[in-house]
Structure 1
């Protein structure tokens, strides 16, 4: 729903980065569900989060993924944790990376937050592995 004729370079870069991290299907769903009410928010996160922070050159996408998951887990943002765990397939962050990040969450943000995020991660990884197995069967 974003007016595609009036987009900044940062928005364009944000969409490229967002797609590379979250995948086309996720971004296409988000765009299809965009309304005039949330359009300014969608533009903001595309430009700021994806076009600035995630598009920066200092951290790799793997490092950004690890930091993001730890922060989201510490904040109890369950849906976002799950989404970013799925995105590790595109960022290069491994299960071991995420396990270590969640150990840090336990120490610095609390055991309950880490425990819940570990439960989410285990569930998402199981879904990802089942999906990958199903794809292998259909090949």
Structure 2
């Protein structure tokens, strides 16, 4: 059986839809033009099939890595995309790479240590903005003497 570029494109689109959602992918496809269409095809085959189809890591781990790397590099638009789609992903579908607030908190604490406090701080600000937009603002927590330090 011969694997073609079209097979890779189809698998990549399937992965992309599962992780980012149909709406996001349809918007990306609708914005295709003579300048960006080859780039869209390339990242769909190379990243979304070539990497996201690999068996070595599950999709949730891959999404967590994307959050840490994009935060470390200051690629906030991609960070926010994966944060939002991870929060919106079906928590019962591991292939959709769902995220929860506790995981996001741990990713950003780890990122702050290894990539710098400003990266963690900006990541938290973006996470709070997205959570608020989704109606999932975290509850207040005690800080100081009454907190569990």
Name the TM-score class by shorter chain. 0.7 to 0.9
How many residues are treated as equivalent by the alignment? Answer: 125
Equivalent pair of 2:5/2:45 in contact (CA under 8 Å): no
Match of 1:3 in 2: none
Deviation string, structure 1 residues 51-78 (Cα, Å, up to 9, x no partner): 1111222211111111100100001111
Match of 2:125 in 1: 119
- 21, 25, 30: which one aligns with 1:27: 25
Q: Which runs of 5+ in 2 are unaligned?
A: 90-96, 137-149
Match of 2:93 in 1: none
Match of 1:40 in 2: 38
- List structure 1 segments (4+ residues) > 2 angstroms apart after TM superposition: none
Within a 5 Å distance, the mapping from 1:90-101 to structure 2 comes to 90=89, 91-101=97-107
Distance 2:135 2:82 in 1: 16
TM-score normalized with structure 2 length: 0.79
Q: Which runs of 5+ in 1 are unaligned?
A: 1-5, 131-139
Root-mean-square deviation over aligned CA pairs: 1.4
Distance 1:50 1:87 in 2: 15
> Which structure is larger by alpha-carbon Rg, 1 or 2?
2
User: Which one scores higher on RCO, CA 8 angstroms, separation ≥ 6?
Assistant: 1
TM-score normalized with structure 1 length: 0.84
- How far residue 93 of structure 1 moved from its aligned partner, in angstroms, is 2.2
Match of 1:72 in 2: 70
> 2:112 aligned with 1:106, yes or no?
yes
Distance 1:12 1:81 in 2: 25
Distance 1:56 1:86 in 2: 23
